[in-house]
Amino acid sequence: MDSDRPWDVIVVGAGPAGSSAARAAALGGARVLLVDRSDFPRYKTCGGGLLGVSRNEVPAEAAHTVQTHIRRASFTRRRGSGTVVERSEPFLGMTHREPFDAALLAAAVSAGAEFWAGVSVREVLDPGDGTVALRTAGDTLVGRIVVGCDGAGGRIGRHVGVRVREVDLGLEDDVETPPGWDGDPEAVLLDWGEQPGSYAWLFPKGDRLAVGVIARRGAPEETREYLARWKGHLGLVDAPTAHSSGHLTQWREAGSPVVRGRVLVAGDTAGLLEPWTREGISYALRSGRWAGEAAAAASRTGPQALEGYARLVESVLEPEQRGGAALLAVFERRPALIHWIVSHTRWGTRFFVRFCAGEASLASIGRRGWVMRVLAVLSR
């Protein structure tokens, strides 16, 4: 490995946030190294739903990985009878993370970033000479700016001092679509569960179905039982399973740092996801691009250029997270009310579809003091 010459930007982690950051930094004229512990393509536990905000961020080279276009959503509570919401135009896309992440990585490399697989960062060091050093198992990498996208609980996030407000456990089975499956290939199924704040999903993706649940960390047996009941409800207990896995998601405290010196974090590493649905791809793509743009500028002019990135997170993403956290608090306390609003009121169903399509944002909740006060009362 050529570690003698400092890289302009080193990006740690080649998921959606990391590849977006590497691509943006390379397009900004920086000499970029992107590293990851894994080679690609690799499996990643994720529902793979792409909101309109995400689809707007996907580079042209990766657009082909959107496999299913969703026009309907069915809502149930505790696996009861469903209510269907639909729109003539698709409002949600579905992708498998293996080809999606690989295509984003290829777009970063095409833009000029260099990718090294099998690199695990063990320590972040400050040599005091205007660079950052990353100690790995076999070498020390040196860059002017480092972007951490190494996932929830990643080493770079700990270095920056990301403060986590809540951690959730997601479990998912990636099952083969049974022959003669009578489900709707253009509909997602969402079920509000028994555990506070929990929900389950079925996302159709052609030859496979993503079947999963998410709940607050701390009751793994209950979460596993919920997944088993959900698969039974769907008639998929005996369907061949390609992957069965779990992962932790985290979301940050408001005001948690995203920059420390010449190091910045994006995506899951920064705790950037929507707290109610735990949707993170749109946050990863946006924050990754912003981080890459800021890193390229900072590699030329100094770390003060990273302040603009922190302001973007504060002004754009934090209001969305505040709105999502307020909805989650009500959902945990009054799931029947949220179910009724989303599935049985014209405003609720319209907002859900527009949110998925990228035409409405939870920031509209997070920025309105009176709405936040009403939600606070309802969450008591």
Model pLDDT, residue 44? 86
Average pLDDT over residues 286-295: 98
pLDDT of residue 4: 66
Instruction: Give the DSSP H or E segment for 144.
Output: strand 140-148
Confidence label for 339 from pLDDT (cuts 50, 70 and 90): very high
Percent of the chain with pLDDT over 90: 89
**What's the chain's length in residues?**
380
Instruction: Examine the pLDDT at 1 and tell me if it is beyond 60.
Output: no
Query: Does the structure show a pLDDT above 90 at 297?
Result: yes
Whole-angstrom distance between the N-terminal and C-terminal Cα of the chain?
Answer: 56
Rounded-to-integer distance, Cα 262 and Cα 304, Å = 9
Token readout for 200 is: 């389950």
The answer to whether the beta carbons of residues 150 and 157 sit under 8 Å apart is: yes
C-alpha span between 350 and 329 (Å, rounded): 21
Mean pLDDT, the chain, integer: 94
Q: pLDDT at residue 2 above 60?
A: no
Amino acid present at 130: G
Residue 60 has pLDDT above 70, yes or no: yes
Ramachandran angles phi, psi of 341, nearest 5°: -65, -45
Taking Cα atoms as reference points, which of 287, 331, 333 lies closest to residue 148? 287
- Is the CB of residue 266 less than 8 Å from the CB of residue 9? no
Q: Return d(Cα 33, Cα 7) in angstroms, integer.
A: 7
β-sheet bridge partners, residue 36: 117
Residues 270-294: b if buried by 16+ CB within 10 A, e if exposed: bbbbbbbbbbbbbbbbbbbbbbbbb
State the DSSP string of 280-325: -HHHHHHHHHHHHHHHHHHHHH-GGGGHHHHHHIIIIIHHHHHHHH
- Residue 366, CA atoms < 13 Å, CB-side half-sphere: 21
Of 51, 12, 92, the C-alpha closest to 288 is 12
Residues 131-144: what's their mean pLDDT?
95
Strands 164-176 and 241-252, bridge-based pairing: antiparallel
**pTM > 0.85: yes or no:** yes
Q: What is the mean pLDDT of residues 112-121?
A: 96
Angle at 233 between CA 195 and CA 187, to 5 degrees: 95
CB 133 within 8 Å of CB 126: yes
SS3 of residue 105 by DSSP: helix
Look-up: residue for tokens 């579905």?
94
What whole-number distance in Å separates Cα of residue 44 and Cα of residue 97?
6
Average pLDDT over residues 244-273: 95
